[in-house]
């Protein structure tokens, strides 16, 4: 049996070493970090001085570990997955701990929810690396509000504005996701909760990838929004409350749904016969005026307000 020591990294969540990356034409792209020689990256299987020492299956350890002639150990197809306890934060910092693979360490495998015997797999490339590549910090901008309050409109304006600054964003729109991932869900209370839970989990993955993820869904219940907030590191969940009066939303009625709801043809429609629980402490509140036609905050102004917040809080740089 072979024990492997995980080394304390110089920066949390990753193992870095200056290696020769060579020229990279992709680095010429506008606003992207140039991949110069010496950029912190991990050459998997090449310079392994600060990487985990290889873990081998007992039977053929000798044949698997070889030297490439330069004193750099190479290994053959052996997983370097580290055993880990059950965590929902993939990028929590490493600690010095032994990792071993054998039938004797089954207690290290986790049972999470309905899945038994699952293992958290770490990888050399972590969130910080991706953020450095993108020159931004991944986060979730959670836009909540009544139907017709302008969530999708503002999401698009925000996305375009950030793109013009060279930032990578992605919109998870409640309606669009219901065409794919959440096509098996309806609108009863538990389905709404599950819809929001899954979108929260996907948003978390996108943020971990370094993307500024913009979600746009009514998400009427505080409890569900809070559950999504809890998935992300503190500060990375940015709730934007579109505080638009029901009368304004209903006057817009972009999808004709308020009309149907008033006619009783849709049941449980948020704002009509299902509650919307406004957030008490959103990071950003976008307030619209009472009367239709009076000065409303334009989508671009709204987007700029969000962008100021992002800039001030360091999300538009690595």
Q: Is 29 near other proteins (CB under 8 A)?
A: yes
Options 1-9, 22-30, 274-282, 297-305: segment touching other proteins (CB under 8 A): 22-30
H-state helical runs in the chain: 61-64, 127-134, 151-164, 174-177, 189-208, 222-231, 246-252, 257-262, 299-312
How far is 165 from 162, CA to CA, in rounded Å?
Answer: 5
Is 298 considered catalytic here? Answer: no
Binder of other proteins out of 1, 8, 11, 125 (CB under 8 A): 125
Query: Residues 294 to 313: which contact other proteins by CB under 8 A?
Result: none
Could you tell me the smallest distance in angstroms from the CB atom of residue 316 to other proteins? Answer: 14
Query: What DSSP designation does 135 have?
Result: T
Could you tell me the smallest distance in angstroms from the CB atom of residue 91 to other proteins? Answer: 11
How far is 153 from 297, CA to CA, in rounded Å?
Answer: 12
Binder of other proteins out of 180, 281, 293, 294 (CB under 8 A): 180
Mark residues 263-292: x for contact with other proteins by CB under 8 A, - for none: ---x--------------------------
How far is 304 from 298, CA to CA, in rounded Å?
Answer: 10
What is the full DSSP assignment across 167-181? --EEEEEHHHHTTTT
Binder of other proteins out of 71, 113, 275, 293 (CB under 8 A): 113
Binder of other proteins out of 7, 13, 17, 81 (CB under 8 A): 81
Query: What DSSP designation does 93 have?
Result: P
Pairing of strands 115-118, 110-112: antiparallel
Query: Residues 82 to 111: which contact other proteins by CB under 8 A?
Result: 86-88, 90, 101-106, 109-110
Cβ neighbours, 10 Å, residue 80: 19
Could you tell me the smallest distance in angstroms from the CB atom of residue 1 to other proteins? Answer: 11
Cβ neighbours, 10 Å, residue 163: 12
Options 21-29, 242-250, 291-299, 307-315: segment touching other proteins (CB under 8 A): 21-29
Q: Is 205 near other proteins (CB under 8 A)?
A: yes
Catalytic residue IDs: 219
């Amino acid at each position: 049996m072979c024990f492997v020591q995980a080394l304390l990294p110089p920066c949390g969540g990753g193992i870095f070493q200056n290696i020769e990356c060579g020229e990279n034409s992709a680095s010429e792209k506008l606003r992207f970090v140039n991949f110069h020689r010496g950029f912190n990256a991990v050459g998997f299987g090449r310079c392994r001085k600060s990487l985990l020492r290889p873990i081998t299956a007992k039977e053929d350890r000798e044949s698997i570990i070889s030297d490439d002639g330069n004193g750099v150990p190479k290994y053959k197809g052996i997983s370097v997955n580290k055993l880990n306890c059950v965590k929902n934060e993939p990028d929590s910092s490493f600690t010095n701990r032994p990792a071993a693979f054998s039938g004797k360490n089954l207690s290290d495998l986790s049972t999470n929810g309905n899945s038994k015997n699952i293992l958290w797999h770490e990888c050399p490339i972590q969130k910080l690396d991706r953020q450095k590549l993108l020159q931004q910090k991944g986060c979730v901008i959670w836009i909540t509000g009544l139907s017709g309050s302008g969530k999708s409109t503002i999401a698009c304006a925000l996305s375009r504005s950030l793109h013009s600054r060279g930032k990578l964003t992605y919109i998870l729109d409640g309606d669009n996701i219901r065409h794919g991932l959440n096509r098996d869900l309806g609108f009863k209370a538990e389905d709404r909760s599950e819809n929001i839970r899954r979108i929260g989990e996907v948003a978390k993955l996108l943020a971990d990838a370094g993307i500024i993820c913009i979600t746009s869904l009514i998400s009427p219940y505080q409890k569900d929004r809070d559950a999504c907030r809890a998935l992300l590191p503190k500060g990375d969940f940015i709730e934007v409350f579109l505080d638009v009066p029901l009368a304004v939303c209903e006057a817009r009625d972009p999808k004709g749904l308020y009309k149907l709801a008033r006619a009783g043809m849709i049941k449980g429609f948020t704002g009509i016969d299902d509650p919307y629980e406004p957030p008490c402490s959103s990071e950003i509140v976008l307030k619209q005026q009472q009367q239709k036609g009076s000065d409303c905050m334009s989508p671009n102004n709204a987007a700029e307000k969000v962008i100021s917040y992002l800039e001030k809080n360091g999300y538009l740089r690595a």
